[in-house]
Structure 1
Amino acid sequence: MNSQLDRPSRFSEAERLAVYRAIAGRRDVRRGFLDRPLEEELLGRLLAAAHSAPSVGLMQPSRLIVVRDYNIRKKVHEVFETANRKAAASYSDERANLYSGLKLEGILEAPQNLCVLCDAGSGRGHGLGRQTMPETALYSTVCAIQNLWLAARSEGVGVGWVSILDPAPLYELLRIPDHLTLVAYLCLGYVESFAAEPDLERFGWETRMELKSVVSYDRYAEEPGR
């Protein structure tokens, strides 16, 4: 029987491989950004990918701020520097030395940044799916970020997530209303290249877990695969 008739919605082999390639090749990029802003059409495609993400109750809670102004990015970088000094002080000995050598942001190098917010209290979706798990609004915004990240990788665009930031000064700097939740601050731009491995793995900060160590069947197991 014709497999295309059996599975009419299945992608072609080349399309499927492209999806898995984007997933495997996605990197948290912190270095090597090119001084070349993204074209409006391309940026629009990436933002549309985020906006098309699944969301609980079709509430679409994500709100996006494209940050291009260098002076604003410079102030965001200062917020990072303050938070980074505090984070560095929490480590000692070899781990402290390792931390000090990590490149953890590209706020000024990337020609555009993206602040991703969540309107978790939005009435859109009429509360469907949120009565028992209200946090799914935030999860929906995380899905939007992943959508954008994979689309960006397929376009040769690097994305770096900067989590070493104190939200309070960002709210003031970017004039974010209090009812919105800061989920991510991303660096976004063309890059020289994509690393074969994640930076944190390449530089010895952490090792990747094997799939079998995190998958249980029927009931949770403390040590799956053993």
Structure 2
Amino acid sequence: MSADELKPEHSAVEHRFSDQQLAGVYRAIAERRDMRHFLPDPVNAETLARLLQAAHQAGSVGLMQPWRFIRITERNLRARIHELVEQERRQTAEVLQERHDEFMKLKVEGILDCGELLVVALPDRRERHVFGRRTLPEMDLASAACAIQNLWLAARAEGLGLGWVSLFDPDALAELLRMPPGSRPIAILCLGHVAEFYAKPMLELENWATPQPLSAFVYENGWPDES
């Protein structure tokens, strides 16, 4: 069989976005930030609908779509969620010991400030979905994370900031939101308008951590010998 006969019917070039479209995709990825500082302006309803649709278009193992979005519109409920996060923030600071004071200076959420607040949760009875999860049951969480990332990138493209808050007791938050047994909240998302996007990840700007280069995370044909 000749090389011409082996040539695929459609090449990557045929399916490639235009240069301008491609630049937009990579820009959204590069400039996505975990935001903590928000303006109080509300998020347009049509924009929010587009963002949630983008999240809902995420890939999921076995097409189980294990994401649930709870929109928080009551101010007093926001305040109670903020209290749960504040409790966990203080407990985390205690565990960090010598970095306690440094951690307490960080702004870790914008729950009371953002225009829109969402809680992302895994549903109950998801154990029924076996396709792709028999040996890796955590793929429900991985699939929901894909939905969050879709929302995050779409928000950046729309000029909105998003911050993922994970400082909370999931059982306490589930009880507060009257979630059914077996379900589990995995993220509090602060979404809204911002004065500006951070030039670098906030934790890098605050000297909390230093990002490592890609080369440190790419292996070939197995795990490297690190002895």
TM-score (norm 2): 0.90
Question: Secondary structure of 1:215's match?
Answer: coil
Please report how far the alpha carbon of residue 216 of structure 1 lies from its aligned counterpart in structure 2 after TM superposition: 0.3
For 2:199 and 2:70, locate their aligned partners in 1 and report how far apart those are by CA, in whole Å: 30
Select which of 79, 84, 95 maps to 2:84: 79
For 1:96 and 1:122, locate their aligned partners in 2 and report how far apart those are by CA, in whole Å: 38
| Alignment correspondent of 1:104 | 108
Q: Quick check: 1:120–1:138 contact (8 Å CA) kept in 2? A: no
For 1:222 and 1:205, locate their aligned partners in 2 and report how far apart those are by CA, in whole Å: 29
Q: Quick check: 1:65–1:116 contact (8 Å CA) kept in 2? A: yes
User: Could you say if the C-alpha distance between residues 6 and 208 of structure 1 is closer, same or farther in structure 2, counting changes exceeding 3 Å?
Assistant: closer
User: Could you say if the C-alpha distance between residues 5 and 140 of structure 1 is closer, same or farther in structure 2, counting changes exceeding 3 Å?
Assistant: closer
| Alignment correspondent of 1:135 | 138
Gap runs ≥5 in structure 1: none
**In structure 2, what residue type is equivalent to 1:216?**
Y
Q: Quick check: 2:170–2:184 contact (8 Å CA) kept in 1? A: no
The percentage of aligned residue pairs carrying the same residue is 47
2:60 aligned with 1:41:
no
User: Could you say if the C-alpha distance between residues 222 and 49 of structure 1 is closer, same or farther in structure 2, counting changes exceeding 3 Å?
Assistant: farther
Question: Secondary structure of 2:51's match?
Answer: helix
Select which of 56, 61, 66 maps to 1:56: 61
For 2:46 and 2:145, locate their aligned partners in 1 and report how far apart those are by CA, in whole Å: 23
Q: Deviations for 1:53-82, whole angstroms, at most 9, x for unmatched residues? A: 000011111111011211100000111111
Select which of 17, 20, 23 maps to 1:14: 20
Q: Deviations for 1:188-221, whole angstroms, at most 9, x for unmatched residues? A: 1111110110110001100001110111001111
Please report how far the alpha carbon of residue 18 of structure 1 lies from its aligned counterpart in structure 2 after TM superposition: 0.7
Count of matched residue pairs: 217
Q: Quick check: 1:113–1:188 contact (8 Å CA) kept in 2? A: yes
Q: Deviations for 1:141-180, whole angstroms, at most 9, x for unmatched residues? A: 0100000000001001111111111112211211111221
TM-score (norm 1): 0.90
Question: Secondary structure of 2:14's match?
Answer: coil
**In structure 2, what residue type is equivalent to 1:79?**
L
**In structure 2, what residue type is equivalent to 1:69?**
E
Q: Quick check: 1:107–1:113 contact (8 Å CA) kept in 2? A: yes
Q: Quick check: 2:165–2:188 contact (8 Å CA) kept in 1? A: yes
For 2:126 and 2:79, locate their aligned partners in 1 and report how far apart those are by CA, in whole Å: 32
Select which of 24, 31, 34 maps to 1:25: 31
Please report how far the alpha carbon of residue 186 of structure 1 lies from its aligned counterpart in structure 2 after TM superposition: 0.8
For 2:212 and 2:103, locate their aligned partners in 1 and report how far apart those are by CA, in whole Å: 21
Please report how far the alpha carbon of residue 43 of structure 1 lies from its aligned counterpart in structure 2 after TM superposition: 0.3
Please report how far the alpha carbon of residue 120 of structure 1 lies from its aligned counterpart in structure 2 after TM superposition: 6.5
**In structure 2, what residue type is equivalent to 1:27?**
R
For 1:120 and 1:134, locate their aligned partners in 2 and report how far apart those are by CA, in whole Å: 14
User: Could you say if the C-alpha distance between residues 161 and 6 of structure 1 is closer, same or farther in structure 2, counting changes exceeding 3 Å?
Assistant: closer
Q: Deviations for 1:22-64, whole angstroms, at most 9, x for unmatched residues? A: 1110000011x11111111000001001100000011111111
Counterparts of 1:202-217 in structure 2 under 5 Å?
202-217=205-220
Gap runs ≥5 in structure 2: 1-9
Question: Secondary structure of 1:161's match?
Answer: strand
CA RMSD across the alignment: 1.7
For 2:187 and 2:110, locate their aligned partners in 1 and report how far apart those are by CA, in whole Å: 14
